[in-house]
Amino acid sequence: MLRIFNSLTRQKEEFHPIDAGQVRMYVCGMTVYDYCHVGHARVMVVFDVVLRWLRDKGYDVTYVRNITDIDDKIIRRAQENGEDFHDLTARFIQAMHEDLAALGILPPTHEPRATEAIADIVALIQTLLDKSFAYAGGSGDVYYDVRRFDCYGRLANKKLDDLRAGSRVEIEDDKNDPLDFVLWKAAKPGEPSWPSPWGAGRPGWHIECSAMSTRCLGAHFDIHGGGMDLKFPHHENEIAQSEAASGHRYVNIWMHNGFVQVDDEKMSKSLGNFFTVREVLQRYQPEVVRFFILSSHYRGPLNYANENLEHAKASLTRLYTALRGLPMVEAPVEEGWRTRFEQAMDDDFNTPEALAVLFDLAREINRLRVEDEAAAARLGITLKHLGGALGLLQDDPERLLQGKSIFLVSSILSRSTTSVADLTVATIPEEQINVLIDQRTAARKAKNWAEGDRIRALLQEAGILLEDTPKGTIWRRE
């Protein structure tokens, strides 16, 4: 039975969908004014694995991941660039899709945009006004009245007075309480706006997700996810808005992934210590980045460091090396291994433990490879299948180990004069490597061991490792 840690109740709970066999899940997506950084990548990979595992267990999953394409940061960046905000968001939506595709993120069922949900947002705000959970301020803004919602603070596990005492929000002239938050912002000169019963303006951030989630999934759905930084106030406010409007429970299970840290500080744009996905992918294959993210439990911190990415790279290489050269066979998944893997994933998506199962399986494949290649090949099918539930090990082992999709150190290497200093960054042609391997093989047959060693060392310094097997010399990226 799948058990998920519910941030609302602060304990693991058995997962029972509202409708048998169907799961409805919403995850807060990107605010598109810049490139995705590793913190964003973690959210996307974590809930991609949740999606994959739910589908692997046979659920029909409707997955909604929104795009915030209007807010203060977007308006400010567009003004700084001197461009229309639509052009800015279109550019970064395309970049986001490219980054997510590179990381193997499956597309959501629906990807609503805030600017396309204005009518739903206006209707939801009107409902809150009609039920006296909201009020119009004198400046044309509309606010949510937190005092009217008895359960406010439940997700943050704090009482209203405690939140108020610790609030940094200054009381504005037309706000009743420092914790009251804006639902509709009155238009300012030069800013995008839409018509509403309260005058031209634009939605507040929190109301956008309530409107988009309930439009796509209904007023009550199974799972809502996002980063830990969204827990308060964003998700707290979503609960208050949505449950006040509907009169019943909004979401059954709340999931939050932990922060990405750099030198024990949260990675974020505001701190200036973030790395974009594009920057990281210049140095590491996308699957290495994905493996790195899954090597820590989703609720814990993830420490970004080059040594941790290098460890992920070496670990992924071990798994692909176990699959390398195995003959293609048709075989069922070995139930014993499936059971162990399933126990790990059903325990709140424990990916580190699931990866440990894959390494045990790889060791068994390597042991069997010598004495029973057919048995090793059958286990290879199981390894590839279980890895697929994590979005791993679906590439061709030769392709990945030889690094054909990333930049390598390369040059036309001559037989006797080329040094590492002559190498330049480019995509190394496979033919080039094979020529050198053939030259090394010929040198070894002629008992010219020095030349053979020189070629091996030259390739190794360029990041190419050779392995001599009974079937000949094979190579892979370091």
151 is in an annotated binding site: no
Give the residue from 166, 175, 121, 168 showing the smallest Cα distance to 146. Answer: 175
Question: Distance from CA of residue 355 to its chain's centroid?
Answer: 17
8, HSE (Cβ side, Cα atoms, 13 Å): 18
The answer to whether 25 touches 50, Cβ cutoff 8 Å, is yes
DSSP 33: S
Instruction: Give 242-270 as a DSSP string.
Output: HHHHHSS--EEEEEEEPPEEETTEE--TT
CA distance 431 to 415: 14
Instruction: Give SS3 for 452.
Output: helix
159 is in an annotated binding site: no
Give the residue from 308, 316, 260, 318 showing the smallest Cα distance to 287. Answer: 316
256 is in an annotated binding site: no
Give the residue from 342, 264, 331 showing the smallest Cα distance to 304. Answer: 264
DSSP 428: P
Cβ neighbours of residue 9 closer than 8 Å, sequence gap 6 or more: none
Place of tokens 């709140």: 348
Sheet of 302-303, strand order: 265-266, 260-262, 302-303
Number of Cβ within 10 Å of residue 271's Cβ equals 10
36 is in an annotated binding site: no
Report, in angstroms and rounded to the nearest whole number, the Rg of the chain calculated over CA atoms: 27
What is the token pair recorded at 100?
A: 């997510």
β pairing state of 221-227 and 22-27: parallel
238 is in an annotated binding site: yes
Question: Distance from CA of residue 36 to its chain's centroid?
Answer: 10
Query: Over the range 121-149, which residues count as b (16 or more CB within 10 Å of their CB) and which as e?
Result: bbebbbebbeeebbbbbeebbbbbbbebb
What is the token pair recorded at 384?
A: 């590839």
Q: Strand (E) positions, 122-217? A: 134-136, 142-144, 181-186, 201-203
What is the token pair recorded at 155?
A: 């997700």
The answer to whether 305 touches 263, Cβ cutoff 8 Å, is no
Distances 42 to 144, 228, 273 between C-alpha atoms, Å? 31, 11, 16
Residue 104 phi, psi dihedral angles, 5° rounding: 75, 25
* Known binding residues for Zn(2+): 28, 209, 234, 238
* Known binding residues: 28, 209, 234, 238, 269
* Known binding residues for ATP: 269
